[in-house]
Amino acid sequence: MANEAESASHTNRWGDTANSAPDSESCRDVCTCFDQGRVSNRRRVRFHSERQDTSSPAWQYLLALIEEAAADGREVFRPLAEMSPRERRQIVTLPPSIAKLTAVKQFILYGSNLVRTPPEIGAMSSLQEFTPYTSYRLHWFPYELTRCPSLKRSTVSTRALYGNEKLRPPFPLLQPGGVETADLSLDDVDPGEWGTTALRRCSVCDRLLEGAEIHQAWISLRVAADVLPLLVNACSAACLQVLPKPPEDYVQTPHTGGPGLAQPTADYA
């Protein structure tokens, strides 16, 4: 957990994970979803709609780094440290192949340009420390992150998160409950509407979503050191009913976000 007000003087505790050259800021795009420095009266936000360019050299290099890390069984994985600022800027999500990183204990994504994380992160069974710090465009995480049984430490830029206790920025409005999948291409959905580009399995019970209804919901839960906004893609209303209860001072039930959502008062400091 970290406070952006301190970020300017923050010492890089994760080694060479961000380029220290004068053009280092070119590795990230500016995010205008909401004010991350003060409470604002903004009522509506939307998901980032960027799609990953899977033909780019940066993406191909990331795929190769993941394969290499999976093959050698390394415990610390900091792929962005291997890339130039220009290459890091081209990475807006992670590939499903991160599921192969079952030996990784420390996953370091300091200063990324990510806008989403795939649910396959839940397969990283040895993950103990997750560090996407100063990833200012990363506003939420998949519910599948709760499947990492060893995850105990995290360093997240909390003021960049939907519904964070300091600023209470709004959540994007989700799809209405019970969306039929018959007319959807589940491997190619609009990330600006769904938050993701693919809908494969239930976030809760892991059932294939093909042929089921999709029930989307937000829930804020403590994961390691931080309370994170988690996106749930469930196969039924019953799966939503078994979700854990959020911590105090957060919306106490799964919800669909949007401008009409009543949140607790921001604890601005």
Residue 33's pLDDT is what? 94
Q: Read off the pLDDT band of 27 (50, 70, 90).
A: confident
pLDDT at 4 over 50: no
* 133 domain-assigned: yes
> Who contacts 64 (Cβ-Cβ below 8 Å, separation ≥6)?
none
> Who contacts 150 (Cβ-Cβ below 8 Å, separation ≥6)?
105, 125, 126, 127, 128
Distances (CA, A) of 38 to 5, 166, 204: 10, 8, 34
Per-residue pLDDT of 191-220, as tens digits, reads 999 999 999 999 999 999 999 999 999 999
Percent over 70 (pLDDT), the chain: 90
Per-residue pLDDT of 223-236, as tens digits, reads 999 999 999 999 99
Tally the residues of the chain: 269
| Cα(175)–Cα(194) distance, integer angstroms | 7
Q: Read off the pLDDT band of 26 (50, 70, 90).
A: low
* 249 domain-assigned: no
Half-sphere exposure of 8 (CA within 13 A, CB side): 2
* 178 domain-assigned: yes
Domain that holds residue 228: 49-241
Question: Total domain count for the chain?
Answer: 1
pLDDT at 103 over 80: yes
pLDDT at 242 over 90: yes
* 261 domain-assigned: no
Average pLDDT for residues 16-29, to the nearest whole number?
53
* 17 domain-assigned: no
User: 183 is written with which tokens?
Assistant: 């007319």
Residue 266's pLDDT is what? 83
Q: Read off the pLDDT band of 240 (50, 70, 90).
A: very high
Output phi, psi for 88, to 5 deg.
-60, -35
* 35 domain-assigned: no
* 252 domain-assigned: no
* 216 domain-assigned: yes
Q: Read off the pLDDT band of 60 (50, 70, 90).
A: very high
